[in-house]
Amino acid sequence: MAGAVSAGAYTAGVIDYLLETLELWQQAKDKNRKLGEKHPDYDHSVPMHDVLLEVVSGASAGGITGSLAAISLLEGIQVRTDQTYYNPSNKLYDCWVNMADEADQDTFSKLMQDDDLVDGNIKSLLNTNPLHVIANKALTFQQLKAFPKYVASDLDLILTVSNLRGLKYKVKFEYDTGTVITNHGGFFRYRFKNKKLKSGVPPKDDQLFFVLDLEKEEERNGKKRNTHIEYLKTATLSTGAFPIGLEAQKNKIHKDYLERYKTHLFENSEGVTSVEPKLNEDGLFEFDSIDGGLINNEPFGYTMKTLKEKDLNAVEEERFAVIMVNPFPNYEKEELDFEFDNYIGTIAKRMFGALRNQAMFKQDEIINALDDSKGTRFLIAPTRKDAENNKADFPIACGALEGFSGFLDHSFRDHDYALGRKNCQDFLMYWFRVNEKSIEYKFGTEVHPEAKKRFSYHPLINGVFDTQKKFFPIIPDMRVLQASTRTFNIEKYGEQVKLEYRPTFPKINRLVFNKKHKKEILNRIKLVCRNILPNHLLASFLFFLVWWIWLKSAAYNKIESVIFKDLKKHGLLED
């Protein structure tokens, strides 16, 4: 799951529908197995093959959604037959759509507050205290269960992170002491305690993960707390800590993990030695971290490497699939004619763009990710049709303002969550598939003719059905009665099972927004500017003089122009 800032609401909708569909299918299979194939109520239209979720990986918003998915699976997926995705117990919806909203104050207003100041020290442009509230709410649970049957008991949760302190390594050269290189990209890799997995750092030197025990409480300073929940919370906030906009996080990792990480970085580590970092009093390595998407926004390579480590045979035999959920896929665009411009502002802008692109171009990970054959890589990206049934240029509401627009209004996030569910429904029905001829090899078993009748379909190419090919879904959706005619089980699941594209886009009113938020935004700007300046009397006097004469109106006019220009471009502003 790629980084997406507030468009993580879309990713959360996708994952919500995916997990719910897996749960529905598992329940149908369990019922069949309990009845036995000879029982008159046995449903032969239910495909009886199995899939296993092995790895969940994510960067930034995708990483946050990954953590929520893992917790949701441990709590047990609640299937709602009326398809009301806004159930209060649904952590994915509650955290990504409701966020920190309350009856008297919405999330955006809370992001503008000043209660994040400690000794006058401002940590980010936005107040991140509401995010801590959301994280605490997400990591509060009554009782955890074992993973369901469609999830590997040793499920890996991988969250990318940008380590600002960095890990240093010395590369030896002949007749020289060597040179030091620093790595700032990294990841947290977690598994969850069960009967076979003990908590903490695993015993084998080649095992690069940490086993979380989310139920074990320790007493410290007279209070009971679960340090492993704190690890997961901090890691989750770290992967989503958008640089400068959101607060950086302080992390701690075990020393043994550092040495194992070197082996991960350098497959041939001969001639490379770790520069021993200073550890804290508990023997842990501390570092400050920000958004995992800064260096690795699409952790495809980590996912593939982990899959190969866990089940190399399945990978080599192509009995696996990797699904990427990306609200902002980088589609190929026609390159504009090159124009040389040595203006300092242009050079600075292009320099940061080049650094960002080069950080994303990790050749070893690209080779690792692409080292497989056709039919194993799948993408879920936003698609929305407008009132004329044409694909919308801007499908998601949280896509404006570089992905920050979702923080402005609840309706934007709700729209994108619903669209994620709709896109996932279509994906599972028509795109996540195998050729009927490959079913027995891919699934390890053939499917019953009744299941084929229910779920198989001819692909639609340029508006015409290709009758020479027939496909079957890898994960069948039990809500579907007949895939080829696109009919659903209305009697059991209600009219809501026919998810709509919601062609009417949510919009906000400029006057209403200004009346509600202008004062809050101005207070936050004043707060940020004042805390950047030196803390003495003359600086304070000059600042307030400039603020009231010029900066107050100029700053808001600029911010207002940027916000509403981009909202209008994306079709999110009322006329």
- Segment 171-214, tens digit of pLDDT: 888 777 778 888 888 899 999 999 999 998 898 888 899 999 99
Distance CA 361, CA 312 (A): 25
Helix (H, G, I), strand (E, B) or coil at 348: helix
Q: What are the DSSP calls for 186-236, one per residue? A: EEEEEEE--SS--SBS-SSTT---EEE-TT--EEETTEEE-HHHHHHHHHH
Do 418 and 541 lie in one domain? The reply is no
Distance CA 161, CA 374 (A): 30
350 occurs within a structural domain? no
Do 401 and 539 lie in one domain? The reply is no
The pLDDT of residue 533 is 60
113 occurs within a structural domain? yes
User: Which of the listed residues 430, 462, 477 is the one where a domain comes to its end?
Assistant: 430
The pLDDT of residue 24 is 95
Do 33 and 181 lie in one domain? The reply is yes
Helix ranges restricted to H, 76-209: 91-93, 107-111, 129-138
The pLDDT of residue 338 is 66
Do 129 and 261 lie in one domain? The reply is yes
Do 180 and 295 lie in one domain? The reply is yes
CATH of the domain at 307: 3.40.1090
The pLDDT of residue 386 is 76
356 occurs within a structural domain? no
Do 525 and 415 lie in one domain? The reply is no
Helix (H, G, I), strand (E, B) or coil at 306: helix
Do 48 and 149 lie in one domain? The reply is yes
The domain total for the chain is 2
Q: In this structure, are residues 3 and 62 in contact, taking their beta carbons and an 8 Å threshold?
A: yes
The pLDDT of residue 412 is 95
352 occurs within a structural domain? no
Residue-range definition of the domain harbouring residue 402? 5-331+363-430
524 occurs within a structural domain? yes
User: Which of the listed residues 385, 414, 430 is the one where a domain comes to its end?
Assistant: 430
293 occurs within a structural domain? yes
Distance CA 452, CA 457 (A): 8
The pLDDT of residue 481 is 95
pTM to 2 decimal places:
0.91
With a CB cutoff of 8 Å and minimum separation 6, the contacts of 183 are 163, 166, 167, 169, 265
For the chain, which ranges sit under pLDDT 70? 81-88, 118-120, 220-222, 269, 330-338, 353, 356-374, 503, 530, 532-553
183 occurs within a structural domain? yes
445 occurs within a structural domain? no
Distance CA 20, CA 78 (A): 7
